[in-house]
Amino acid sequence: MKLINKIALITGGTSGIGLATARLFRAEGAHVIVTGIDARRLEEASHHLGPDAMVLRADLREPAALDQVIAAIAKRHGRLDIVFANAGAGATSPLDAVTEEQIDDQFALNFKGIFFTVQKAAPLLTKGSSVVLTTSFLNAVGTPGLSILSATKAAVRSLARSLGAELAPRGIRVNAVSPGPISTPFHGKLGLSENQLKEVATAIEGQVPLQRFGEAEEIAKAVLFLASDDASFVTGTELVVDGGLSQI
């Protein structure tokens, strides 16, 4: 087991990539704490992860919610070894339709939520700990209608470098995982109709060199590498898992 007795916080851990990662971490021996906001998904995650897991409701747009999460972790475990700052959401909108509210909402979760997750978790992190941030292939390509989401993900990629530099003296590694198009509920949150989603999916598959969407479990394995001692000399980097979409 690669994570035996490690304490791991996974935000956005009740579905998709987050839940797949939580399940893999559990299988590798970690004690997991996951956060989410949807009541049904929280209940399902609790069922999948078992009674030993902490499943907490927290809207990461509100830093005070993170204070409660960190306090609960400190009370039960007293430390953190892994933080997977994964929570995120997006919406499609062409340039002339983007509103200030859309910008504020996406940056509040995708950037501010990730930044404060790391800031507030940092006092519990021990030497040799690993922080993994979820960015996206969108940080490297231009996609019409996704300018704000892409900008938040580019900001997260930058954080992996700057926070990596800041935490390196404490022996804490910070890296980013960059998923491509993945078969998760995320795409259903983009505000598109079912027909639009099918059209977009078909178009994306045609652009991916491996000719398919990725699976959440494939991203989880990449996160496991970055979180484990297998990546003990890796920090500040971005591990791209996108079927070659942004690379070839």
DSSP characters over 195-221: HHHHHHHHHHHHHSTTSS-B-HHHHHH
Q: What pLDDT is recorded for position 201?
A: 74
In a domain, 145, yes or no: yes
CA-to-CA distance for 174 and 125, rounded, in angstroms? 12
* 184 vs 98, higher pLDDT: 98
In a domain, 246, yes or no: no
Q: What pLDDT is recorded for position 56?
A: 98
In a domain, 247, yes or no: no
pLDDT tops 70 at residue 179: yes
Q: In 3-state terms, what secondary structure has residue 246?
A: coil
Amino acid at position 198, single letter: K
In a domain, 29, yes or no: yes
User: Average pLDDT of the chain?
Assistant: 93
pLDDT tops 60 at residue 191: no
pLDDT tops 90 at residue 205: no
Percent of the chain beyond pLDDT 90? 85
Task: Provide the number of structural domains found in the chain.
Answer: 1
In a domain, 1, yes or no: no
Supply angle C-alpha 231, 35, 191, rounded to 5.
Answer: 100
**CATH number, domain containing residue 54:** 3.40.50.720
Q: What pLDDT is recorded for position 183?
A: 85
pLDDT tops 90 at residue 218: yes
Q: Tell me the pLDDT tens digit for each residue of 52-73.
A: 999 999 999 999 999 999 999 9
Q: What pLDDT is recorded for position 215?
A: 96
Q: What pLDDT is recorded for position 184?
A: 65
pLDDT tops 70 at residue 92: yes
In a domain, 42, yes or no: yes
In a domain, 31, yes or no: yes
In a domain, 121, yes or no: yes
CB 179 within 8 A of CB 136: yes
Q: What pLDDT is recorded for position 189?
A: 53
pLDDT tops 90 at residue 90: no
Q: What pLDDT is recorded for position 148?
A: 95
* 141 vs 82, higher pLDDT: 82
Q: Tell me the pLDDT tens digit for each residue of 43-54.
A: 999 999 999 999
CA-to-CA distance for 24 and 18, rounded, in angstroms? 10
What is residue 30's DSSP assignment? -
Q: Residue 167: which domain range?
A: 7-241
What is the reported pTM? Answer: 0.92
What is residue 108's DSSP assignment? I
Q: What pLDDT is recorded for position 199?
A: 74
